[in-house]
Structure 1
Amino acid sequence: MVEAGIRPEGIRIVDRAGGFGDPSLVKLKDKRVAIIGTGAASVQIVPQLARWCKHVYVIQRTPAAVDDRHQRKTDKGSFHKEAAGFKGWQRERMRNFHEHFTLGEHPAVNLVDDGWTRAPGLVGLTGNPYGPKLPEQVPAYNANLVEIDTPRQNRVRARVDQQVRDPATAEKSKPWYPSWCKRSLFHDDYLQTFNKIM
């Protein structure tokens, strides 16, 4: 909340929870808008703001690791064939999803096959039964997590270079930390937005 007297004249603060009222945002077409943070809400809001605003500023402390969602449309036929064609399909799908967040053997078939299940380093965030049991096991466990996570984080950084045309902006948008240090985000359009707002 901004107290009276602190906010500069003519600046309006919009709380994302309250929404914008009109989803078309036409009243922002000649405005410069700043959004603070690169968390889950910002990653969803920024592409929409960029469609309507004259200019968008993204103010960040730490860039988010934004990966592809890897989602696909599900038609009725494939849904019944791949997911709901047998009793207990929901439980099996949940079990399959959770098994991707352990250091144990992963299922042969990835039933969910989305960004989360393609990010094995997130096991450092969620914990798992194969984690260290004794304090002296923690360094080796952490080294293993970094080894598992590094290919994915390298891919996320390469994705930034592929999608953000301005090299300086791309460099500022790269996550240089393991997946489990800040909530991983998944959005197909967020990074490309920086080509519009520059």
Structure 2
Amino acid sequence: MKLLLAEDQTMVRNALAALLRLEGDYDVHEVADGQQAQQALQHQPYDVVLTDIEMPNLTGLELLQWSKQHAPATKVVVITTFHRSGYIQRAIQAGADGFILKDAPIEELLQSLQQVLQGQRVIANALLLQSLDHHDPLTERERKALRLAADGHSTAAIATALFIAEGTARNCLSEAMSKLHASNRIEAARIAQRNGWL
């Protein structure tokens, strides 16, 4: 199996790659973030992308969305330490072929990879149930605006980054704050982050 492993924590990535090479017939190519994975996918085909969620430059969820459009033959399995319902919902909606927790035994990961390669979708039952607990109230634009706000960008900078008018950016942040019952944009971003909606 030709596998692309995207994980920004070097020790975790190296250990996981070594385990995969030891346990089975895996040709593992390692990259440090979603952007590097995107570049690798543009240069050669892979059977499976195994990606973390929280990475710099391009998150695992953004990589998943991009892969489904630009490399549809490649299966995408999300691996994470987070049990956040928002992450699970968004990964499922974006068409993830698998969603596995990092604390699962290596045998479970290997079995899941094989099942995914055979065309099955593998998402742990506990995670599926948890994903039904909290509905993600944010639109994609609100999510992007909050992410930029959390990084300290002004309303004007957010408007520029999202190619919208400043008033629209202000309304967008206000709507997100209202939906999350937050008193300010930073609190709204914190609530969204905690639930995996960012």
User: Normalised by the size of structure 1, how large is the TM-score?
Assistant: 0.37
Larger Rg: 1
User: Normalised by the size of structure 2, how large is the TM-score?
Assistant: 0.37
Q: Looking at both structures, which has the greater relative contact order when contacts are Cα pairs under 8 Å and sequence separation is at least 6?
A: 1
